[in-house]
Amino acid sequence: MGRVPERIRTWPGAKVSGSHFRRMAAIGAAAGWLTEDQPWHHGFGPGSPLAKLVEADGQVLLLGAPLDRLTILHHAESLVDSPQKRMARHVIPVREGGEVVWRDVFDHDTSTALGAFPYERAVGDQDPFAVIGQLALDAGCGVSGLVGKAVSHLFSAGPLVRFGIEWLSKEFGPEHCPEQE
């Protein structure tokens, strides 16, 4: 979301994923591969553009954006198996065969303030992605610096996702389920 992603989406030759729910855009030689065949359910999970970015040893650049915008961490959320994961059902309109039909889409919860996990237990009132992002930077999974006057952050996608999975598993894995303690 924002001006840069919208510019990428409208860039000549840009490719956009077919999902109507978790659409992603890409430009460049691998754009078609990155955006093709995005799953309807769990649109940030296996087979998604985010999964392919990790597979391709891609990078994530937050150019003047805060750490709470690390969308790639939704991919980490999708890969963590936990009884505490909040799931959501969304009903969206889709054009099929010239008419609009309503389709159910299931995914982990990314569209409410609650989030995919009971983050408030682990981070209080802080944004969970900002916390994970800062911890990842502190662990050497990325670098920060100025681009012009904008504080920016650069991460390798794979190490950041692995860091996110480890953190989420430590905080919300089955062995950390309050009902079992």
Mean pLDDT of 88-108: 91
**Total of domains in the chain:** 1
> pLDDT at residue 181 above 60?
no
pLDDT of residue 180: 45
Report, as an integer, the average pLDDT of 63-77. 96
15 vs 28: CA distance, rounded Å: 9
Q: Are 102 and 77 in contact (CB under 8 A)?
A: no
This prediction has a pTM of: 0.90
Structural domain boundaries enclosing 40 = 3-180
Lookup result for tokens 């077919």: 18
- Of 73, 74, 75, 77, give the one whose Cα is nearest residue 153: 73
The C-alpha atoms of residue 43 and residue 20 are separated, in whole angstroms, by 10
